[in-house]
Amino acid sequence: MRFRCGHGAQDDEAHLIGRSCPLCMLIAETQRSRGELLRRASPPQRTRLMMETRIGAEYEWRCDRGHDRYRATVAEQLTGTGCGKCRANAHAPAALRDAGVAFMNPGLRTRTSMTEQKLRMLLGERIRLHHRVNAVRVARAFFGRTEVWPDIIVPQLRIAIEYDDPGRSRRAHVWLKEASDLEKDEALGEVGWRVIRVRAGGLGPLGPTSVVCSRLTSEVADEVIAMMRRIRGDASVDAIVLPIVDPALFHDDSVC
């Protein structure tokens, strides 16, 4: 078989599959590149890795931190913490102490859709949003890192809000991406966080804290706030709710 990405069999008579190979799909999901994999692979195996299509294929890798070389599958290399020493460090007391802390990663570059911005605006009209955090430390490795990047973070409640829709391709947040979404939710749950997922565009619920909608409206934002109350209680949410301003207070009787 030969895939659309060009990997796989090189025979002109090979069956052509009109999608990228499984490895290229996982590389895209984890926001990595094949070049990054090639730099980490043991030099004698790089030629084979250039055309690899299987995420379960095992290779020898070089640790970025200078530890011993180790063997792992391509999937483990893309989603794990690296060699045995790196895995041990990820579970060290100092790392576990920081798990669950929301912080600002100044080097983080993520794309934000107009709909995600609208959801942030609608929620910002209802509760005080913290704009100086964009990541949460977790106790496990998630796509090779011990941090996750929710769309919206409410550190006062330890709640993360994600907006999911299938996008123009109708492939986002389905199949492999849905599995990674669930793993992300589990990683946050392990450190005391809860995730509310707004699922639009025909996507079904991903768990008991999903808010399913056809499109993003003010009513959806109200439902997210109601879900926060069910998760953390009225008193906790009331502490960050913005006061409702009566428009009549701004009416000037002197102006006709």
At 145-178, the pLDDT tens digits run 788 999 999 999 999 999 998 877 666 666 667 8
Q: Which of 119, 136, 143 is nearest to 225 (CA)?
A: 119
Asked whether residue 8 carries a pLDDT value surpassing 70, the answer given is yes
The answer to whether the beta carbons of residues 31 and 42 sit under 8 Å apart is no
Asked whether residue 254 carries a pLDDT value surpassing 50, the answer given is no
State the pLDDT at residue 175. Answer: 67
State the pLDDT at residue 96. Answer: 61
State the pLDDT at residue 65. Answer: 73
The answer to whether the beta carbons of residues 164 and 199 sit under 8 Å apart is yes
State the pLDDT at residue 2. Answer: 85
How many whole angstroms separate alpha carbon 194 and alpha carbon 18?
38
State the pLDDT at residue 256. Answer: 37
Average pLDDT over the chain, rounded to an integer: 85
Q: Which of 65-74, 97-106, 223-232 has the highest mean pLDDT?
A: 223-232
The more confidently predicted of residues 246 and 104 is: 104
Mean pLDDT, residues 43-65? 91
Mean pLDDT, residues 213-219? 93
Asked whether residue 222 carries a pLDDT value surpassing 90, the answer given is yes
pLDDT cut 90: percent of the chain above it: 46
Mean pLDDT, residues 250-256? 47
Residue 175 region, left (φ>0) first, then alpha (ψ -120 to 50), else beta? Answer: left
The more confidently predicted of residues 94 and 101 is: 101
Distances (CA, A) of 195 to 8, 110, 163, 212, 249: 38, 19, 11, 14, 37
